[in-house]
């Protein structure tokens, strides 16, 4: 099992094709892009200055929207995951 | 439903054409620009250093002015939204 | 009505011509420049780390000097305003 | 009257000629330079994280040395002043 | 014995070949990469603002995933180790 | 008398020639350099977040080693001094 | 005697040759490098936000590993030392 540390969240992500011309990523405008993923594991939460842990704002099974270019790719048991910090999660889809 | 996390706000934005010459954005002067949007959902608020949540300063239905180049684009049920942090909201129009 | 958020201040500004040669702004020396405006609305004040709000140091009607290149332009009911953070206000003219 | 905000100080400065060759400022070595001014007005002091104000360390009438390239130029009633933050004051001359 | 200081962790790392063309590292996409290591020693933990030490979230013997480009190489008794800060550890494999 | 403000220290410095070739400073390696000076005046000390002043760690008469490229040059009564922040002092020579 | 200030540590360092080609430092890969030194003097420790001093984590006589490119060179009584901040010490060798 993959147990994320701190305020990290492990996401299962639907891969999207990125449009490129000659290898250059085409950005349609200046805004940040987002993407959707499913939470498969959550960490224990951010440690505050006083040493207490802040409860996580998402839970396993949640469908979340996150900043497209955030996170670290992790391959585990032949599956690819994205591990992002809680602050890079934008919204939960209910 | 789209539930923004932390101090984020989901905005419905009226699209404006940006004047460009050969793809270069034309800025009339050095000032930051602003744009108007309508709040459709608000997060639970910023978490302070002591772990408490700061109540949001805007509510669903508010018309707000925000920094033109802030925020992340989110597409949800075929609608486009802009998700911005509370700090990028400049003013409320009463 | 335009209600600024946080520690922001809405200013009515007297426009000044900026001397340019071929579009390049001419700076006479290395110092920061300032400009004068009139406060037309103030926010509720900066939120401190402990969650309390710091009272604003200026009020509606004050004539203030601010850092020339700070702030965000806002157009409201066909009037142009400049919205600046309290920290960009340099002095009050009594 | 010019009332500086926060931890700012209004200074009356003796202008010095800056040696240039073809518009390039000539720095004799890598050290920061300083200049002397007279305090004509002081703000209420820096606001600490707990909301309290720190008393100013200089007073009106003091002759002070400040970082040469700090501050914002302000013109008031046809006089030129320099407004600097308290942290840019280096020393008081007794 | 190698005793890491602060919130550092000593890792035994399985070396991987990095694909290069003419010495340029080839990155398949914009995401951060990760790598797996085994914890061989842990520090006493991060010192908080109030002077207390935060217990480490991993222990000797744990298999961890860390940010591929973090850490400092240390050679000790002819073995190569990687010393990383706790914040650069992404997840523990159970 | 020259009274330094905050955590500043006034130093009397023995000038050293800097080796240059065509005006370029020659650094023998990547390390920071240091230089020796004598403390002639000290400030009241750094103000902490809670408003208290931290006692200075050096006193008038101390011979100190400081970061070579730190500080601001001050000329006072035809003498040249260097004013540095306490954090730029590396060591005291007993 | 050389008394380091704050959280600084004075190290006696074994010089290593750095491999260069035409004066360019050759880095074998992207990792930070480390080096070994012996502690000959330690400061009083880092001052925390509340004004208390954090005890040093190393003592005179310790053999330590530090970040290769950290620190300031100090020459004292014809010996060369390296003075580094405690945070640049990676590990103690027992």
Q: How confident is the model at residue E66 (pLDDT cuts 50, 70, 90)?
A: very high
Q: How confident is the model at residue E19 (pLDDT cuts 50, 70, 90)?
A: low
Higher pLDDT, E6 or A1: E6
A1: in domain: no
The whole domain housing E77 covers 8-14+32-93
Residue of D nearest to C63 (CA): D2
Specify the DSSP class assigned to residue G58. Answer: -
B81 touches B74 (CB < 8 A): yes
D1: in domain: no
B3: in domain: no
Higher pLDDT, E31 or E79: E79
Residue of F nearest to G42 (CA): F91
Retrieve residue B23's tokens. Answer: 């793809």
B2: in domain: no
B57: in domain: yes
Chain D residues touching C33 at Cβ < 8 A: 72-73
pLDDT at C1: 87
Chain E residues touching A2 at Cβ < 8 A: 65, 91, 93-94
**E84, pLDDT greater than 90:** yes
Chain G residues touching E74 at Cβ < 8 A: 34, 65, 90-91
**A75, pLDDT greater than 60:** yes
Chain C residues touching B42 at Cβ < 8 A: none
Mean pLDDT of E55-62: 96
- Conformational region of residue A78, where left means phi above 0, alpha means psi within -120 to 50, and beta covers everything else: left
Given a contact as 3+ CB pairs under 8 Å, which chains touch F?
D, G
Judged by CB atoms closer than 8 Å, whether chains meet at D91 and F6 is answered as no
D–F: how many Cβ contacts below 8 A? 64
F50: in domain: yes
- Give the contacts of C5 (CB within 8 A, at least 6 positions apart): B57, B58, B86, B89, B90, B91, B92, C43, C44
Q: What percent of chain B has pLDDT over 70?
A: 81
Residue of D nearest to C58 (CA): D5
Please report, for the domain that includes residue A82, its CATH number. 2.30.33.40
A–B: how many Cβ contacts below 8 A? 63
- Conformational region of residue A25, where left means phi above 0, alpha means psi within -120 to 50, and beta covers everything else: beta
* Tally of CA atoms within 13 A in the half-sphere of G33 that contains its CB: 11
Which residues does residue E73 pair with via DSSP β-bridges, in sequence order?
A: E82
Retrieve residue B17's tokens. Answer: 């054409």
Mean pLDDT of C10-31: 63
**G20, pLDDT greater than 80:** no
Identify from A65, A67, A68, A69 which residue to disrupt to test chain B contact, counting B C-beta atoms within 10 A and taking the largest count: A65
Judged by CB atoms closer than 8 Å, whether chains meet at B82 and A31 is answered as yes
pLDDT tens digits, G23-69: 555 445 556 778 999 999 999 999 988 889 999 999 999 999 999 88
Alpha carbon distance D70, C34 (integer Å)? 14
F1: in domain: no
pLDDT at D29: 53
Domain tally for chain F?
1
B36: in domain: yes
Judged by CB atoms closer than 8 Å, whether chains meet at G3 and F34 is answered as no
Judged by CB atoms closer than 8 Å, whether chains meet at E4 and G91 is answered as yes
Judged by CB atoms closer than 8 Å, whether chains meet at F31 and G2 is answered as no
> How high is the ipTM of this complex?
0.83
Chain F residues touching G79 at Cβ < 8 A: none
pLDDT at G84: 97
Alpha carbon distance A3, E59 (integer Å)? 14
């Amino acid at each position: 099992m993959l147990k994320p540390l701190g305020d990290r969240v492990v996401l299962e992500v639907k891969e999207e094709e990125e449009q490129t011309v000659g290898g250059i990523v085409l950005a349609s405008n200046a805004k940040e892009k987002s993407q959707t993923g499913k939470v498969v594991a959550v960490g224990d939460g951010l440690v505050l200055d006083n040493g207490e842990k802040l409860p996580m704002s998402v839970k396993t099974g949640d469908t979340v929207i996150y900043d497209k270019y955030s996170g670290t790719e992790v391959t585990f048991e032949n599956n690819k995951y994205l591990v992002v910090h809680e602050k890079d999660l934008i919204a939960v889809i209910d």
